[in-house]
């Protein structure tokens, strides 16, 4: 666990500075703005953090947790009050990804007294950051409202600008219960290319600006959630999460090739024509990837403590029902700055995911804890391809396919010792549901791929 005290003491500028404090966690910043991260745990592929389950206040934040678990944003580091890290068999409480580990990013709680904060930072490369936050109590309810804007020119002439807003309201419910309502909005525009320097370019000028200044990604996210915690008695607690969010991503990328095509006029050529594979040929058009993702889910979690003879038990049991959709379109533009263009490809996808788990933390002695558990995951995929190039140019089609994937994830963990000095170990089955490109191929047929 990375505590709020550690975060305040470190005064991080970006969230990767916090995550790098956790042993075994490797973080690579994917662009100058610092909001898209590639996170890896224990050597697992860190591309778009798709093999690490990343949660915000217990709620998934990837594009589509089952079918496209890529991470395109992370909470602002200014909002963090802690980070929970789960490795090994403890992952069966979460899912669907249980290969590497789980990071739960905990955000600010509403205060019980008037609390205000305002920050303004400026720096090199045109960097600006402005933060405003206010929270208070209103009767038995508490609330906090936060806004953050960050922008800059980028260190390779890759400008970025992002604006985040969040509101949390805590309302007491019945006896020993509380509901936390959270609303979020985010909009980001950033230069984001898909090509690097050739070896010859790097040798000549390693600090050369981006080769594709017109490449740009526009990201929007809207989220709402409610987390209800109800204590039944001294030994039983029920937590229920309900959430929904929409993510929009438009990415325009200038067309290019690594070798010239006869009869094609290029906008420009970068590199050294006298060196084999030392040049890039940039066209006058672009490719626009336009995608919209919707996710909604409900998760009840029950915790109950009891004892049998001299052995203590803490049983966790819960489940999840989640539905996610994606609309994907690809267009070909005739300029490098358009977001329009002619339709080349379109498809619609939907996934229904269900998960359930049970885990028992068995305390044989005050210094010996053994935790067996098991998780079941099931997902049903549906994919409809609406437009595709079949050899004679793009045309409207209607190709459909479905597929089911099921995973059983057993695990057991052990810890011996005290809080400050202990040894631990664990064993569990790693599982990741197949992505759409693996579950259902471009012809609409189910692929023979195990999760």
CATH of the domain at 385: 2.40.170.20
For the chain, how big is the Rg over CA atoms in Å? Answer: 24
CA 255: distance to chain centroid?
Answer: 28
Whether the pLDDT of residue 447 is over 70: the answer is no
Q: How many domains does the structure of the chain reveal?
A: 1
In a domain, 54, yes or no: no
Which is it for strands 115-122 and 128-138: parallel, antiparallel or unpaired?
antiparallel
CA 192: distance to chain centroid?
Answer: 18
Q: What is the DSSP string of 186-198?
A: EEEEEE--S----
Whether the pLDDT of residue 282 is over 60: the answer is yes
Whole-angstrom distance, CA of residue 340 vs CA of residue 210: 23
Whole-angstrom distance, CA of residue 83 vs CA of residue 95: 17
In a domain, 267, yes or no: yes
Phi, psi of 89 (to 5 degrees): -70, -20
Residue 186 C-beta-side C-alpha neighbours within 13 Å? 22
Whether the pLDDT of residue 436 is over 60: the answer is yes
pLDDT tens digits along 334-356: 999 999 999 999 999 999 999 99
**What pLDDT is attached to residue 156?**
79
Whether the pLDDT of residue 440 is over 80: the answer is no
Whether the pLDDT of residue 178 is over 80: the answer is yes
Q: Mean pLDDT over residues 209-228, rounded?
A: 94
Considering 4-8, 170-174, 268-272, the range whose residues carry the highest mean pLDDT is 170-174
In a domain, 213, yes or no: yes
Whole-angstrom distance, CA of residue 52 vs CA of residue 49: 5
In a domain, 65, yes or no: no
In a domain, 246, yes or no: yes
Q: Is 390 exposed, middle or buried (0-12, 13-18, 19+ CB in 10 A)?
A: exposed
Whether the pLDDT of residue 235 is over 70: the answer is yes
In a domain, 380, yes or no: yes
For residue 426, what are the domain limits? 111-439
The answer to whether 160 touches 128, Cβ cutoff 8 Å, is: no
* Band of residue 2 on the pLDDT scale cut at 50, 70, 90: confident
pTM, 2 dp: 0.91
**What pLDDT is attached to residue 431?**
86
In a domain, 28, yes or no: no
pLDDT tens digits along 359-376: 999 999 888 999 999 999
In a domain, 81, yes or no: no
């Amino acid at each position: 666990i990375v505590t709020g005290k550690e975060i305040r003491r470190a005064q991080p500028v970006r969230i990767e500075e916090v995550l790098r404090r956790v042993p075994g966690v490797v973080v690579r910043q994917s662009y100058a703005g610092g909001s898209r991260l590639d996170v890896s745990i224990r050597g697992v592929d860190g591309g778009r953090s798709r093999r690490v389950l990343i949660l915000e206040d217990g709620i998934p934040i990837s594009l589509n947790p089952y079918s496209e678990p890529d991470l395109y944003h992370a909470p602002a580091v200014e909002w963090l009050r802690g980070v929970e890290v789960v490795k090994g068999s403890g992952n069966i409480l979460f899912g669907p990804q249980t290969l590497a580990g789980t990071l739960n990013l905990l955000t600010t709680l509403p205060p019980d007294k008037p609390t205000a904060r305002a920050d303004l930072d400026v720096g090199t490369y045109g960097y600006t950051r402005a933060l405003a936050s206010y929270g208070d109590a209103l009767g038995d309810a508490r609330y906090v409202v936060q806004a953050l804007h960050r922008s800059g020119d980028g260190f390779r002439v890759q400008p970025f600008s992002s604006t985040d807003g969040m509101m949390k309201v805590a309302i007491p419910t019945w006896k020993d219960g509380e509901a936390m309502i959270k609303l979020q909005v985010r909009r980001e525009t950033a230069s984001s290319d898909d090509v690097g320097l050739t070896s010859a370019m790097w040798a000549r000028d390693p600090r050369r600006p981006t080769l594709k200044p017109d490449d740009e990604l526009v990201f929007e996210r809207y989220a709402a959630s409610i987390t209800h915690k109800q204590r039944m008695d001294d030994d039983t607690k029920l937590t229920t999460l309900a959430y929904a969010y929409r993510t929009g991503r438009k990415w325009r990328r200038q067309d290019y090739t690594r070798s010239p095509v006869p009869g094609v006029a290029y906008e420009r050529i970068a590199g050294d024509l006298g060196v084999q594979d030392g040049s890039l040929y940039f066209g006058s058009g672009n490719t626009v990837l336009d995608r919209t993702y919707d996710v909604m889910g409900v998760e009840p979690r029950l915790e109950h403590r009891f004892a049998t003879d001299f052995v203590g038990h803490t049983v966790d049991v819960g489940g999840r029902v989640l539905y996610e959709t994606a609309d994907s379109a690809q267009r070909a533009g005739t300029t490098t700055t358009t977001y329009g263009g002619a339709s080349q490809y379109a498809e619609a996808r939907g996934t229904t995911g269900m998960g359930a788990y049970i885990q028992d933390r068995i305390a044989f002695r005050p210094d010996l804890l053994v935790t067996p558990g098991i998780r079941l995951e099931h997902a049903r995929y549906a994919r409809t391809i609406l437009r595709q190039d079949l050899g004679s140019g793009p045309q409207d089609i209607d190709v459909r396919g479905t597929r089911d994937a099921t995973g059983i994830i057993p695990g057991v963990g052990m810890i011996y010792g005290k809080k400050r000095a202990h040894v631990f170990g664990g064993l569990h089955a790693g599982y990741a549901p197949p992505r759409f490109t693996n579950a259902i191929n471009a012809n609409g047929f189910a692929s023979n791929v195990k999760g």
